[in-house]
């Protein structure tokens, strides 16, 4: 499908990119991304994928906006407090880019419903704070052969990786699965919620935009995804490092 004059103008900076071009932008326009979690990580993902012109976004989150969210989840305002995050996020994305389709699901993913909600996506991004949910999402994506971009946050550091265990390396071995990185779920003591230990307000924006970048690279077909590699960023030092895992 050719880009319309309006789309050509809106995405002009993408179209002149050597590795993107009109063909890459058309791939984005024809893609469907499911975003699980519209909080700290999901908020920048939603903003940048909507702005980039990903054709269909499905936003899944069971929670409502609270005052404490606003310092780091900058797609929301005081007017959204008490309203469903998925609905408010969808409204933001549609306002930012009326040319895309945005669906919202005010629900919590679990083993019973995850497959039905994710199976039509070309790519899934998850930024939940529950390792049980992460494991369910990763399992569905592996079975349905859907690439998964997953991220996590600490108080001053965050990480992101891309999972596609249904694909093989050049030597024929599969890329690692979620279980390769997290063979067991961390205990609450090892991974306490941000309500208890805090999180630097800008950190979700840094990690979330990295996650959006991974999605755009994959969908448009350029660059090298973080397969088998965990990118770790420290806000204390401003340094990033790559940890390979098998």
- Cβ contact 74:43 at 8 Å: yes
DSSP assigned state of 153:
E
In the set 194, 206, 219, 231, the catalytic residue is 194
Who contacts 150 (Cβ-Cβ below 8 Å, separation ≥6)? 125, 126, 127, 134, 137, 138, 160, 161, 162, 163, 178, 211
Q: How far apart are CA 203 and CA 156, in angstroms?
A: 7
Beta bridge partners of 60: 36, 105
Torsion on CA atoms 238, 73, 154, 114, rounded to nearest 10 = -130
- Told to judge if 141 belongs to the known catalytic residues of this protein, a careful annotator would answer no
- Give CA angle at 52 (168, 160), nearest 5°: 45
Phi and psi at 37, nearest 5°, equal 105, 115
If we measure between CA atoms, which residue out of 84, 113, 89, 83 comes closest to residue 103?
Answer: 89
Active-site amino acid positions: 194
């Amino acid at each position: 499908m050719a880009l319309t004059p309006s789309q050509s103008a809106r995405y002009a900076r993408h179209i002149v990119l050597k590795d993107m071009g009109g063909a890459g932008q058309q791939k984005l326009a024809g893609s469907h991304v499911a975003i699980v979690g519209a909080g700290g990580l999901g908020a920048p993902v939603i903003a940048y994928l909507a702005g980039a012109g990903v054709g269909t976004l499905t936003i899944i989150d069971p929670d409502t906006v609270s005052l404490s969210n606003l310092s780091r989840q900058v797609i929301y305002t005081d007017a959204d407090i008490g309203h469903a995050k998925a609905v408010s996020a969808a409204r933001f994305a549609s306002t930012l880019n009326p040319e895309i389709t945005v669906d919202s699901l005010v629900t919590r993913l679990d083993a019973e419903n995850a497959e039905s909600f994710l199976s039509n996506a070309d790519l899934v991004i998850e930024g939940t704070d529950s390792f049980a949910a992460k494991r369910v999402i990763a399992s569905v994506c592996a079975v349905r052969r859907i690439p998964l971009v997953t991220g996590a946050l600490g108080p001053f550091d965050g990480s992101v990786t891309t999972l596609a265990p249904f694909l093989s390396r050049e030597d024929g071995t599969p890329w690692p699965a979620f279980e390769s990185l997290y063979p067991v779920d961390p205990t609450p003591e090892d991974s306490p919620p941000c309500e208890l230990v805090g999180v630097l307000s800008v950190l979700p924006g840094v990690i979330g935009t990295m996650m959006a970048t991974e999605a755009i690279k994959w969908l448009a077909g350029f660059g090298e995804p973080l397969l088998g590699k965990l990118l770790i960023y420290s806000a204390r030092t401003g340094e990033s490092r790559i940890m390979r895992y098998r």
